[in-house]
Amino acid sequence: MPAAARARVISARALTVTYGQRSALYPTDLDISAGESVAIVGRNGSGKSSLLRALCGLEPAARGEVVLHAESCHHRRTDVEIAYIPQRSGARWELPFSVGDVVAAGRRRAWWRRPGRADRLAVDDALNAVGLGELASRSVTELSGGQAQRVLLARALIQQPDVMIMDEPFAGLDLATVDAVIELLARLVEAGTSVCCALHELDIARSAFTRAIALADGRVVADGTAAAILDTDGVERIFTQRART
């Protein structure tokens, strides 16, 4: 189904992010539809992470707004559920927490509620979905980089998200794990989840995503199908030129 025909699930309207006096993201408009896969590309410091963090509400908008279209939820909810997977390096992998406990942290519940049987089943389902069903009781200190990334994916899956937002999910992964993650994301998109990733791996952006948004100096400089945006000329334009101010 073409993206235009699908219902919008999350939109940015003149979304602006500033850190003190410095603008990280200039007024930006974009719509992401249900079941759309979007790659956000650009050089370091181009505003990719700021855009993603603002979309999930982690970064306050200096101006503009993020609009969630609840009618597009595919899990019969009244709110759009956004799962955010930050860069792997942000978490405390050196602490001996169990994989199951870390995945359960993605499940929304009141702080006083202890994880129950339903929570444990949901953890098992999420771990099975990423191929780590056997590792629920293992300590996260004993995981490889690929397994750690899949644990973060499982933690996102347990939210049953309408939109999955990921910051550099392929960084530091071997080819087999990259393929496994791409396959999992494809299954999610097929089920109606929107996936939005910031990434530097342009060949993955071109082959695994339907749409690409290129940022430079905090501005959107290109937005269209991944194949068209990330052709040879497009890549050169994005990574060598600065945005016109």
Partner 1 sequence: MNGWWSWALEPFGYEFMQRALLATLAVCVAAPMCGIWSLSRRLVYLTDAMSHGILAGVAGASIVGGSLLVGGLLAAVTMALFVSLLVVRARVPEDGAIGVVGQGLFALGVLGVSLQSDPKALSHILFGNPLTVDRTDVAIDVALAVAVVLVIIALRPVLLATTFDPVHARTVGMRVGLIDATLLVTLSLTMVTGLVTVGVLMAVTLVIAPAVTARLLGRSLDSMMAIAVASGVISGVGGLLISYHAGLPTEPMVALVAVVQVGLAAVWIRPAGAVRRTLLRTRGGHQASCPDMAVTPVVTASRPAVRSSGRSRDSER
Q: Where does this chain bind partner 1 (CB under 8 A)? A: 56-58, 82-98, 101-102, 104-108, 111-112, 114-115, 139-148, 155, 159, 168, 170-178, 200-204
> Considering beta carbons, is residue 106 or 218 the nearer one to partner 1?
106
Decide whether 8 or 150 has the Cβ nearer to partner 1.
150
> CB 205 → partner 1: shortest distance, Å?
9
Closest CA to 50 of 15, 83, 90, 20: 15
The least distance separating partner 1 from the CB of residue 190, rounded to whole angstroms, comes to 23
**How many of the other CB atoms lie within 10 Å of CB of 160?**
19
Give whichever of 5 and 176 is closer to partner 1, judged by the CB atom. Answer: 176
- Is 52 or 189 the residue whose CB approaches partner 1 more closely? 52
DSSP, collapsed to helix, strand or coil, labels residue 63 as: strand
> What is the smallest separation between the CB atom of 3 and partner 1, expressed in angstroms?
25
**Which amino acid belongs to residue 205?**
A
CB of 111 to partner 1, least distance (A): 5
What single letter denotes the amino acid at residue 162?
Answer: D
CB 198 within 8 A of CB 166: yes
Q: How far is the CB of 1 from partner 1 (least distance, A)?
A: 28
Strands 63-68 and 8-19 turn out to be antiparallel
Pick the closest to residue 129 from 186, 172, 79 (CA basis): 186
Distance of CA 114 to the CA centre of its chain: 28
Which residue, 22 or 244, is less far from partner 1 as judged by CB? 22
Identify the DSSP state of 75. Answer: S
CB 71, min distance to partner 1, A: 21
Residues 6+ apart with CB under 8 A from 138: 98, 99
Are 14 and 27 in contact, with CB atoms under 8 Å apart? yes
Judged by CB, which is closer to partner 1: 101, or 124? 101
Question: Token digits for 243?
Answer: 């945005």
